[in-house]
Structure 1
Amino acid sequence: MAVKAALVFVAVAVLLAYYCDQPVPEGIAEPRLYAKVQGMVFRTVQNLAKIGEYLGVGTEPQNIRSVMETIVNVGLKLKGSSYREGLKCTDTMFDGVKVRVYEPVSAAQSGSKVPGLLYFHGGGWVMLSVDTHDPLTAHLAKQLGAVVVSVDYRLAPEHVFPAAFDDSVAATKFFLQNAEKYNVDRTRIGISGDSAGGNLAAAVTLVLAKEKDLPKLKTQALIYPALQAINFNTPPYINHGHLNTLSKDRMVSLWLWYLNNDLSFKKVFEANNHTGVQIKKSQYAGYVDPEVVDVTPIKKENVKFPEITNISTILDPRFAPLMADDADLKGLPPTYVMTCEYDVLRDDGVMYARRLGKTGVKVNHDHYEHGFHGFLNSFDDYELAGIAMQNYLTYLRKNL
């Protein structure tokens, strides 16, 4: 027994050493926390999900979702619920879409109308929920004195595009049309989200900007958003695609699960062979890469795509907002974009901020040289994330 116990201990120690020994970029903020917490968690989740699918226990995305939810829920139980003090939190439905509404008690008692904010959680359209983002959205409501609506949109791959987008639009329209029920000034409603949630926030903003019978969104705040799926060889994909917080391998999988739930084309996407020469020499390539200047304008209906299910969707701004033409960007509300250096999505946000600015949209772009994807959720643990949260809140206070 003693020998078996010793062998188990050695095996566990070796596995932990393997998980904790992650490559950490020299310039990254708080490398020990990054390596021992973020690296270990994400590598563990990914491997457990694949092993589970191999053993016939759920699919990889289902397993990722299950393991991540378990880890986060354990953390929330340890954290307690004190962060919700001063808030009335209600799970309800907005036009058939599940949402969680955070209403500051002090704001309700003041008698005057307050601003509102719709928030879309990240997780690659595949995982996470209003529960995993509960501390973040509760913090926003308390610090802003605003009513925050966290949208629990349908997840891929069970519900591929446009399910998450449709839910996001429906919930946003409902809130804009029923703001008074929550003591919210309908002219002071903004929209925000992180990662895949940033994608949804940007897509909803683009579509609702053309609606004439709705109040206009006051601002959009995009946190390291995923905005394009035509170029997976941008500099951050090349330089930081190995990082466990969000690898190139994982991001391509997430896009495919959202697009058509067919990972058989994963290698094709990773090699940028899913677009063809037309797109690589078109205005769409220029939307992603500022160095592409000699472009041949093309119409979406004339593009010849490979035989991949729903592939033309990669040029749909509702799916990939960076693909919106300049004419569609004009007139968008003031925009906040947060990007991080150690993030494969860095240039998605950088290019969107740049393009918006060129079309006359007022843009505030916060870039964190030492930040990494997903760090804002750790605003209570990482010093840099806490600073980023304060800057994000400062923007919202001024623009809601």
Structure 2
Amino acid sequence: MEFILEIFIVAFILLVALAFYYEHPKAEIPREVDQRIKLYMVHYVINFVFGLGKIVEKLGICRQLYVLKCFMYGIPPWKSNNLFIKDLKFAGLSSRVYQPKAPSAGPRRGLIYFHGGVGQFGSISMYERLCRCVASESDSVVVCVGYRLAPKHPYPVQFWDCLTATEYFMTTAEEYGVDPTRIIIFGDSSGGTLTAAVCQALVSRTDLPKVRAQIMIYPFLQGMDFNLPSYQQNGSIPFLLKERTLALGMQYLNKDLSFMKNILEGSHVPEDLKLKFRKWLSPDNIPMEFKIRGYKPHVSASYSEELHNLAKPLFETTFSPLLAEDAIICQLPETYILTCEYDVVRDDGLLYKKRLEDNGVPVTWFHLKDGFHGALLLLDYWYLSFPCGRRAMDNVVNFIKGL
């Protein structure tokens, strides 16, 4: 029995070592981040899961993504004392509705939430705590959409699912005690991408109520330039590392990862698109205060037509909403954008903020100077929570209450 236990311990140690070897969990934790050791520990756990996923995929057991999905499924909280929580189908899509139990003088605001996970992992359960906080603290009805995930359901199914669920909620809002004119679309990370894309798709719809507002938490908004100041400064800062960002995006689009290095260097962008998008996607549009930690203007590598053809989905507005035309942007609803200083996609949010403001769209912007990608997701997860996540939630709730 002791021999079997020793074999098991040795095998487990080897598995841990291999997982770390495959993922190379190096990280830079800025001194300005509160509770740095905790962030470092969580980063190591996440890297272990990514590495373990690679091992089981190489062994032919299952794909890496399935390991990530299991790990990020989420830990449900206890029964709520102040919310009615129901699992329903919205146009055939799994959704969870959070309704405050307290009486209301009239119809409430309604929020439809799109979770992050790069269209491949994440779940309603993973975002249970966040949605409960929003519903309870803002006295709003919240719907979290369980859109279908890649690779089983290839991109852009995720966008169409979110659009379908939004249309359904808008037409049935009154059944949930919601004012149809006070519906807010809300998402974090790639859920922020979906939020922007859905809002853009709805601007010309006359058969539906107008979206009251959109809320985007550290959104990914463009797949054209991976050398903006935030990518240069924060490429090794948890949780969204620079290369991991593109790797997950390419997997989402079902593209070959062997072209990643060339895309990171900008070889997928032809000169005519550079000229077209320069006014929207130029580092010159990023305030100098966000360059002082270091920025070197990037010179793109030689253009490859083959790579451009492969990477065309990166330019679609369902993947890169920042590239939408001004005729669409100017019709968007009031917007809230949260950015984090130590986040590779920080500048996506800053650039979208400027685009919206230049087109006359009211923008409320909140910047977490000690924040990092994923800070809000860890809210209310006991020891794993970070103070910046609580501040972010308080600010988001205050915005919602003002609508």
Paired with 2:65 and 2:268, the residues of 1 have a C-alpha distance of 22
- Once the two structures are TM-superposed, the CA of residue 261 in structure 1 deviates from its matched residue by 4.2
Aligned 8 A contact 1:20 1:36 in 2: no
In 1, Cα distance between equivalents of 2:324 and 2:304: 19
- Provide the C-alpha distance between the structure 1 equivalents of 2:40 and 2:86, rounded to a whole number of angstroms: 36
Q: How many residues align?
A: 378
Q: Please say if 1:347 is aligned against 2:347.
A: yes
Cα distance between partner residues in 2 of 1:226 and 1:154:
19
Q: Structure 2: which amino acid aligns with 1:288?
A: L
**Amino acid aligned to 2:40:** A
Identity %: 36
Kept after mapping to 1: 8 A contact 2:20/2:51: no
Q: 1:32 aligns with which of 9, 32, 37?
A: 37
Cross-structure match for 2:161? 167
Q: Unmatched 5+ residue regions in structure 1?
A: 294-302
Residue 8 and residue 305 in structure 1: after superposition, are their counterparts in 2 closer, same or farther (change >3 A)?
A: same
1:81 aligns with 2:78: yes
Is 1:94 aligned to 2:90, yes or no?
Answer: yes
Pair 164,309 (structure 1): closer, same or farther in 2 beyond 3 Å: farther
Task: Report the AA paired with residue 286 of structure 1.
Answer: K
CA distance in 1: counterparts of 2:151 and 2:181, whole angstroms = 35
Q: Is residue 125–residue 254 contact of structure 1 (8 Å, CA) maintained in 2?
A: no
In 1, the alpha carbon distance for the partners of 2:268 and 2:25 equals: 35
CA distance in 1, matches of 2:391, 2:41: 21
Distance in 2 separating the partners of 1:150 and 1:141: 11
SS in 2 for 1:154: coil
Cα–Cα, structure 1 residues 286 and 160, in superposed 2: closer, same or farther, change >3 Å? Answer: farther
Q: Is the 8 A contact 1:157 1:261 kept in 2?
A: no
Name the CA distance, whole Å, in 1 between partners of 2:354 and 2:307.
Answer: 33
Aligned to 1:287: 280
Shift of 1:98: 1.6
- In the other structure, the counterpart of 2:69 is 65
Work out whether residues 20 and 35 of structure 1, in 8 Å CA contact, stay in contact via their aligned partners in 2.
no
Cα offset for 1:11? 5.1
1:45 partnered with 2:67: no
Rate the CA distance shift 1:17–1:318 in 2: closer, same or farther, 3 A: closer
3-state SS of paired residue (2:306): coil
Aligned AA (1:361) = V
The corresponding residue for 2:393 is 389
Aligned partners of 2:27, 2:127: CA distance in 1, in Å? 26
Deviation sequence 1:66-112 (CA, Å, 0-9, x none): 2332xx33xx4xxx414x22211111111122211111111xx3362
Equivalents in 2 of 1:52, 1:272: separation in Å?
A: 32
Distance 1:52 1:319 in 2: 29
Q: Which residue of 1 aligns with 2:119?
A: 125
Question: Does 1:103 find its partner at 2:99?
Answer: yes
Distance 1:171 1:142 in 2: 22
Amino acid of the residue matched to residue 214 of structure 1? L
2:248 and 2:241 map into 1 onto residues whose CA distance is 11
Once the two structures are TM-superposed, the CA of residue 10 in structure 1 deviates from its matched residue by 12
- Contact 2:228 / 2:283 at 8 angstroms: preserved in 1? no
Cα distance change, pair 117–292 in 1 and its aligned pair in 2 (3 A):
closer
Paired AA for residue 245 in structure 1: F
User: Which aligned pairs between 1:328-339 and structure 2 lie closer than 5 A?
Assistant: 328-339=328-339
**What secondary structure is seen at the aligned counterpart in 2 of 1:169?**
helix
TM-score by length of 1: 0.87
* Corresponding position of 1:299: none
Question: Counterparts of 2:12 and 2:304 in 1: how far apart (Å)?
Answer: 56
> Which letter does structure 2 place at the counterpart of 1:81?
W
**TM-score under structure 2 normalisation?**
0.86
Cα distance in 2 between the residues matched to 1:305 and 1:67? 39
Larger displacement relative to structure 2 (190-199 or 158-167): 158-167
The CA distance in 1 between the partners of 2:160 and 2:12, in whole Å, is: 50
The amino acid across from 2:264 in the alignment is E
Q: Is the 8 A contact 1:144 1:397 kept in 2?
A: yes
SS in 2 for 1:361: coil
Give 1:318 deviation, angstroms. 2.0
**Residue matched to 2:292:** none
The 3-state SS of whatever aligns with 1:133 is: helix
CA distance in 1, matches of 2:369, 2:339: 9
Q: Which runs of 5+ in 2 are unaligned?
A: 287-302
Which amino acid in 2 is paired with 1:147?
V
> In the alignment, does 2:364 pair up with 1:398?
no
CA distance 1:382–1:274, shift in 2 (3 Å): same
Q: State the AA in 1 paired with 2:120.
A: V
- CA deviation after TM superposition for structure 1 residue 308, in Å: 6.1
Determine the C-alpha separation between the residues in 1 that align with 2:69 and 2:338. Answer: 25
Instruction: Please show how residues 186-225 of structure 1 align to structure 2 within 5 Å.
Output: 186-225=180-219
Q: Given that residues 160 and 257 in structure 1 are in contact (C-alpha distance below 8 angstroms), is that contact kept between their aligned partners in structure 2?
A: no
Matches within 5 A, 1:305-316: 305-306=305-306, 311-316=311-316
The residue that corresponds to 2:323 in the other structure is 323
Residues in 2 aligned to 1:116 and 1:310: alpha-carbon distance in whole angstroms: 39
